Amino acid sequence: MLTDNQIFDILDGVASDEIRNEHAHLLIHSGAYRAYFEELEMLHLDLATMPMEQPSAKFTHVLLERLQVAPKTFQTKWLIIGSIAAGIIAAIGFVFLGLLMPKSFVGEVTYVDKLSYLSDILSNQSMTFIFVAINAFLLLLIIDRKVLKPYFQKRQLSLHN
């Protein structure tokens, strides 16, 4: 016997050939299946003739008012990017502060030693490469958002008009 979903697929006209063949066989040879199919067919016709429910006009009106009055906020994407950038800047700041602070208050550590250690780290070629790469990425991001995106949006609008 076919499942309810398969029978509704037959009634909707989307059933496969295999299911339609089995359905035709069951209609001929099974009285119980024929009765069940007719019951589901009546239900299918009732569902097809029922009007679709719609929300009340008041609900729709209130919803549209709220959408029109809602102030524009920052886009979520830029909020996330800004948060990540602030976190990276804060982490870099904490690293530099940690390098400047003495590791223990008992030993003789001078800030001159710490500053020379910091200058050794900053003069390292790989650190310089990392800073240049980060700045290049930020520069490309700014150029993309402030120059290229408005240019291509204007061009797209002019092509569609």
Per-residue model confidence (pLDDT) at position 98: 66
More reliable by pLDDT, 77 or 32? 32
Which pLDDT score is estimated for 38? 92
Written as six digits, the tokens of 98 are 């940690």
| Residue-by-residue DSSP string for 145-157 | IIIIHHHHHHHHH
Contacts of residue 33, Cβ cutoff 8 Å, sequence gap at least 6: 1, 2, 26, 27
Domain ranges of the chain: 4-49, 74-110, 124-161
Segment 68-73 shows an average pLDDT of 57
Residue 84 scores a pLDDT above 80: yes
Distance CA 100, CA 124 (A): 17
More confident residue, 39 or 59: 39
pLDDT of residue 106: 46
For residue 33 the two structure tokens come to 């299946």
DSSP reduced 3-state for 91: helix
Taking only the tens place, the pLDDT of each residue in 92-122 is 877 766 666 655 444 555 555 666 666 776 6
Percent of the chain with pLDDT over 70: 76
